[in-house]
């Protein structure tokens, strides 16, 4: 790409110009695709998803692009490499979670508990494998759900105590807690069943 064209695109990106975004995509889509495909190797079927994530991240940060810090390609390829690395990190985390799930002796009991078919599993929650699954599921939740579940089930706080701390009503906390439990249940089951 010519230096003048790159300067025009860079200026347009910082100004939020849609035409500049299209010009960037047209100029670098193939290079981004090739860069990611090269990095991902045998995981080629997921290349389109990582390319899409790369361009979405670029779109979110385009206004902050600083040509003084490097070329458009340097900026865009850095985003591409970061998203390829995130892909592999997520895959490794999912694999670790799956391995832990296969080893967790108490997982059936916990699943039945989450479905409200049995009382709390007690000692089953003490196993390292199961604790790993619980932590993994909690990390997938929004922070407010994670905080609410920790206060209720790990710290033993009452609904009223939580409502007071959150400057909310007990009814609102019960409702939010129900949504948090459902989100946790879905994340936990997803991780266990892989």
| Pick among 1.10.40.30, 3.30.565.10, 3.20.20.70, 1.10.1740.10: CATH of 3-96 | 1.10.1740.10
Distance (Å, whole) CA 61 – CA 52? 14
Q: Where are the domains of the chain?
A: 3-96, 104-193
CATH code for residues 104-193 = 1.10.10.10
Q: What is the pLDDT along the chain (194 residues), one digit of tens a residue?
A: 688 888 888 888 888 888 888 898 999 999 999 888 888 876 678 889 999 999 999 888 888 888 888 888 888 989 998 888 888 888 777 777 766 665 555 566 666 666 666 666 555 555 666 667 777 788 788 888 888 888 888 788 899 999 998 889 999 999 999 999 899 888 888 877 76
- The overall pTM is greater than 0.85: no
Distance (Å, whole) CA 31 – CA 29? 6
């Amino acid at each position: 790409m010519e230096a003048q064209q790159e300067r025009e695109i860079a200026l347009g990106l910082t100004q939020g110009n849609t035409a500049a975004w299209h010009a960037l995509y047209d100029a670098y889509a193939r290079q981004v695709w090739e860069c990611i495909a090269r990095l991902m190797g045998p995981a080629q079927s997921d290349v389109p998803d990582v390319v899409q994530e790369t361009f979405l991240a670029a779109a979110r940060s385009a206004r902050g692009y600083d040509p003084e810090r490097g070329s458009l390609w340097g900026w865009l390829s850095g985003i591409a490499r970061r998203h390829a690395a995130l892909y592999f990190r997520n895959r490794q985390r999912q694999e670790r979670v799956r391995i832990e799930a296969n080893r967790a002796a108490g997982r059936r009991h916990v699943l039945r508990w989450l479905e409200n078919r049995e009382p709390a599993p007690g000692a089953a929650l003490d196993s390292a494998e199961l604790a790993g699954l619980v932590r993994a599921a909690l990390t997938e939740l929004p922070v407010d759900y994670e905080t609410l579940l920790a206060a209720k089930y790990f710290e033993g706080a009452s609904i009223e105590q939580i409502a007071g701390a959150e400057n909310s009503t007990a009814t609102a906390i019960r409702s939010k807690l129900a949504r948090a439990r459902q989100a946790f249940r879905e994340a936990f089951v997803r991780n266990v069943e892989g």
